[in-house]
């Protein structure tokens, strides 16, 4: 028997991942030598912050039956989900920010960001099957569609550079 998650728990993961991405892009902006690239990184951080806020709003709108239904007085589920988000969704990974030297071109950064978004999409596609219909499986599609919209936005920005 597999592990079942609720839409509420997946939104919690998504919010954590988006907040990680805000920090990652902000950290990259601070250390980047090119101020124009730094401005683009701040814009990318804002895009992630907007996503986090949207996911918070969607999470609040979930009906009660899609919320965590297991007694968890020590909040172990939340700690587990945080660990899953931190280790399985590279979007926002501190490791990514630390590996960058601050000399990357905007082209390189956008390509990296697109790959991170694609990785997040694959993660949510995989975990969607762990959410039963009655606990909000269809709501996970909202997260996936939002991540796909990031890929489109970033890809369009990349095309505009050429």
Within a domain: 129:
yes
Q: What is the pLDDT of residues 116-130, one digit of tens each?
A: 999 889 888 888 888
Q: With a cut of 90, say whether residue 110 has pLDDT above it.
A: yes
Task: Return the exposure string of 50-84: e unless at least 16 CB atoms fall within 10 Å of the residue's CB, then b.
Answer: ebbebbbebbeebeeebebeeeeeeeebeeebeeb
Confidence of residue 157 (pLDDT cuts 50, 70, 90): very high
Mean per-residue pLDDT over the chain, rounded? 84
pLDDT at 1 (0 to 100): 40
The pair phi, psi for residue 127, each rounded to 5°, is -80, -20
Q: Integer distance in angstroms from the first to the last C-alpha of the chain?
A: 50
Within a domain: 1:
no
35: domain CATH number is 1.20.1260
Within a domain: 13:
no
Domain span at 37:
22-64+74-161
Within a domain: 28:
yes
Q: With a cut of 90, say whether residue 46 has pLDDT above it.
A: yes
Q: With a cut of 90, say whether residue 3 has pLDDT above it.
A: no
Which pair of structure tokens corresponds to residue 120?
Answer: 């997040």
Within a domain: 96:
yes
Within a domain: 149:
yes
Range name among 31-45, 48-62, 119-133 with the lowest pLDDT average: 119-133
Q: Where are the beta strands (DSSP E) in the chain?
A: none
Within a domain: 136:
yes
Rounded-to-integer distance, Cα 10 and Cα 81, Å: 8
Range name among 17-21, 42-46, 62-66, 106-110 with the lowest pLDDT average: 62-66
Q: With a cut of 60, say whether residue 112 has pLDDT above it.
A: yes
Q: With a cut of 80, say whether residue 92 has pLDDT above it.
A: no
Confidence of residue 73 (pLDDT cuts 50, 70, 90): low
Within a domain: 94:
yes
Please state the domain count of the chain: 1
């Amino acid at each position: 028997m597999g592990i079942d998650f609720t839409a509420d728990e997946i939104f919690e993961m998504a919010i954590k991942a988006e907040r990680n991405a805000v920090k990652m892009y902000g950290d990259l902006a601070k250390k980047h030598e090119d101020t124009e690239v730094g401005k683009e990184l701040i814009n990318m951080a804002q895009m992630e912050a907007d996503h986090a806020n949207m996911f918070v709003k969607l999470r609040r709108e979930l009906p009660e039956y899609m919320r965590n239904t297991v007694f968890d007085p020590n909040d172990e589920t939340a700690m587990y989900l945080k660990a899953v988000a931190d280790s399985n969704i590279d979007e926002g990974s501190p490791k990514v920010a630390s590996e960058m030297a601050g000399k990357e071109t905007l082209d390189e950064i956008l390509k990296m960001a697109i790959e991170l978004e694609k990785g997040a999409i694959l993660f949510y596609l995989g975990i969607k099957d762990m959410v039963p219909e009655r606990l909000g499986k269809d709501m996970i599609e909202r997260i996936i569609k939002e991540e796909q919209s990031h890929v489109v936005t970033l890809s369009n920005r990349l095309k505009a550079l050429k």
